[in-house]
């Protein structure tokens, strides 16, 4: 299996008036609260596709009990709920109240009565996490959560403890973007206090970029007996730079744009659009390709 270097994808909708400064943003929960209204709602389905792939790699089955950590708007939780069916149960947790509200709404809209979602921090040992079944969960899923964990080893240990013997933890994280997209980062670098990756890493609750090797080390240190690694190529198409701009504000990458002084935001946007011109297809669209990594970790 090839293992490319990993780097968080994406970058930011909105106006300067919508962008609170770092000191008032409420950390990672606040970041996703602000993104929740448009998260997964701008016509780019990378997260839902990655969520379905994670559930497939985890081999979630009918009747199982699943904990979805960092459930967001339900990218993993909803396919997991469909996989377990009414004989099973899925519990979602997320640090963002706005995200857990959206998950509950979506589960109700789809008639998934066996879904529950709570606001909780998977890293906080004092948090009022929902009680695991007495015998433990059959599976824990954590889609695109790892890079937001301050202490990933501790969280993985808690997931290990929540599983039944023979249970599994399924993780995913973003890998490399297609060649050329780094031009956008380079073009906008002068407008913020650091690179996009540095800004995202500096968001409270986010850890350094991940490689499959580092994830393997972490899960073995947390007590897991074996790990299966997978990678998938994901594709999306932006209609034009405005569509890309809207999408990036709906993701965690909005942290970079919120770090740009309001008076410089129009120039930063213009610089990004200039870099995007070289990435346009003949029809004017912007094809976007990146790698998603997956790890299925087994508890004995």
Q: How confident is the model at residue 129 (pLDDT cuts 50, 70, 90)?
A: low
pLDDT confidence bin for 11, thresholds 50/70/90 = very low
Alpha helices in the chain (DSSP H): 27-35, 46-58, 77-84, 97-109, 152-162, 182-188, 196-202, 212-221, 241-249, 254-259, 265-277
Q: What is the mean pLDDT of residues 205-228?
A: 87
**Contact in structure between 285 and 240 (CB atoms under 8 Å):** yes
CB 220 within 8 A of CB 298: no
Q: Which conformational region is residue 131 in: left (phi greater than 0), alpha (psi within -120 to 50 degrees), or beta?
A: beta
Q: Give Cα separations from 280 to 140, 175, 274 (angstroms).
A: 39, 22, 11
CATH code for residues 16-298? 3.40.50.150
Average pLDDT, the chain: 87
pLDDT, one tens digit per residue, over 234-243 is 999 999 999 9
Q: CA angle 289-69-223, nearest 5°?
A: 100
């Amino acid at each position: 299996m090839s293992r490319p270097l990993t780097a968080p994808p994406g970058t930011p909708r909105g106006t300067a008036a919508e962008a609170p400064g770092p000191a008032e943003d409420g950390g990672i929960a606040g970041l996703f609260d602000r993104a929740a209204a448009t998260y997964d709602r701008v016509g780019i389905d990378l997260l839902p596709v990655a969520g379905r792939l994670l559930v497939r790699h985890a081999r979630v089955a009918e009747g199982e009990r699943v904990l979805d950590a960092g459930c967001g708007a339900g990218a993993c939780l909803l396919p997991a709920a469909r996989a377990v069916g009414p004989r099973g149960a899925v519990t979602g947790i997320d640090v963002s109240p706005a995200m857990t509200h959206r998950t509950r709404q979506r589960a109700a809209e789809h008639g998934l009565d066996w879904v529950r979602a709570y606001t909780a921090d998977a890293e906080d040992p004092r948090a009022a996490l929902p009680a695991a079944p007495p015998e433990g969960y059959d599976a824990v899923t954590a889609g695109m959560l790892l890079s937001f964990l301050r202490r990933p080893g501790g969280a993985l240990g808690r997931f290990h403890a929540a599983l039944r013997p023979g249970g599994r933890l399924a993780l995913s994280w973003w890998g490399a973007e297609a060649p050329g997209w780094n031009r956008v980062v380079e073009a906008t670098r002068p407008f913020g206090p650091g690179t996009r990756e540095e800004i995202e890493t500096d968001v409270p609750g986010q850890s350094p970029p991940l490689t499959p090797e580092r994830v393997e080390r972490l899960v073995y240190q947390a007590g897991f007996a074996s790990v299966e690694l997978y990678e998938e190529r994901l594709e999306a198409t932006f209609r034009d730079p405005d569509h890309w701009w809207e999408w990036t504000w709906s993701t965690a990458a909005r942290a970079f744009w919120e770090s740009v002084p309001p008076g410089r935001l129009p120039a930063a946007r213009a610089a990004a659009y200039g870099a995007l011109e070289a990435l346009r297809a003949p029809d004017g669209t912007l094809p976007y390709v990146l790698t998603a990594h997956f790890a299925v970790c087994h508890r004995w």
